[in-house]
Structure 1
Amino acid sequence: MITTPFGFSSTAAEVAAGIDLSGRRALVTGASSGLGAETARVLASRGAEVTLAVRDTAAGERVAADRMKTVEQGAATSVLLAVSPLLDGVGGRYFNDCNEAEVVDRRTGTLHGVARYAVDPENARRLWDVSEALLADAAGAS
């Protein structure tokens, strides 16, 4: 009987940790969501060239565009916003893939862009006011 150091609570990333899949190809079925998408993500993060087999091509494109990054690539935008002198004093904007997100009126299959209401100054002011009121109420209750 084959036993492994993995069990019920193991993750796909843990199972693949330390394995170099460079130069290997993988075909992942059902890769537009759930287990298939996570399998594809982990295999790609370990260096495999992954082909996504999906019925819903738009969903497959979203997985390929948004989930096929390494952890290092996924963190790049957050780190850029935290450390780049290009963005000193800049706030209230949305970024993806290390660039400011385009304001869109309608989402497309790519999930890129930021909704117009999310960057509306009046909405931001209202949210700030509500947040302050909630904090004041919480401080008064304690």
Structure 2
Amino acid sequence: MTTPITTPFGAASTAAEVVAGIDLTGRRAVVTGGASGIGIETARALASAGADVTIAVRNLDAGAATAAELRASTGREVAVRPLDLADRASVAAFVADWHVPLAILVNNAGVMASPETRTAEGWELQFATNHLGHFALTTGLHDALAAAGDARVVSVSSSAHLRSGVVFDDIHFERRAYDPWLAYGQSKTANVLFAVEATRRWAADGITVNALMPGGIRTNLQRYVSDAELDRMRAASGGGAAQWKTPEQGAATSVLVATSPLLAGVGGRYFEDCNEAGPNEPGTRRGYAPYARDPEGAARLWQVTEDMLG
């Protein structure tokens, strides 16, 4: 067994605290979903440490406004590029337009508990956005990541992965009733499995991938979820409204995984509250489900995903 990674930081730590003293000068970073929620604070922390940050966004107007605010607060140039993870052509265009080494890729964008929606291919939207789009983006940027040396990919998952493994015989809810939370949970399990298999395949290229649970943060991600449902979820996890994290705290684990010297050469792990998490203890919402770090499941998902994407 590997020794779990522990850090001086915890649930209340902010992204700025986590990155303090780390110099990212000359390193390029991409943050998907960088114009809202914890994506903004992830981009801010990376830029403040000297990284050349690009936020990849669906809404270019929102992206431009965010980039202007980030430039003003960090004194750093922040670039904006269009990216719709549910649109294969958009992902392909982003990859084709990227020509320089990439040291940090934060796969942060996502959709949560949406009504049943299908992409042009007939794929369930949450799986298509949260997993397939990020898979196509990351594999497409493999050479740029390898060129950076010691590149890190951050796969933003969720404790919701505990709701469902990847249901390989009906990923897109073609034969079972659609459930927005099972669909979300399945996609978040896929984010962890991706970290496991990508690290196995790419560690020799100097690329490591880790997954994380950012914590409960009130952001636009929950636009499909009622306040009553959110309160019920907080109660079920053993906390009340006081346990919501600020966006600055919610971004901390992503930034830690992207930058901490303690994670040099480390991949395929799952983090929460700025520390490596252990297996889930039944009755809690903490830790990872064993199926989410199963090497055989990770390898199977990779092959299934490649087959879907053609």
* More RCO (CA 8 Å, sep 6+): 2
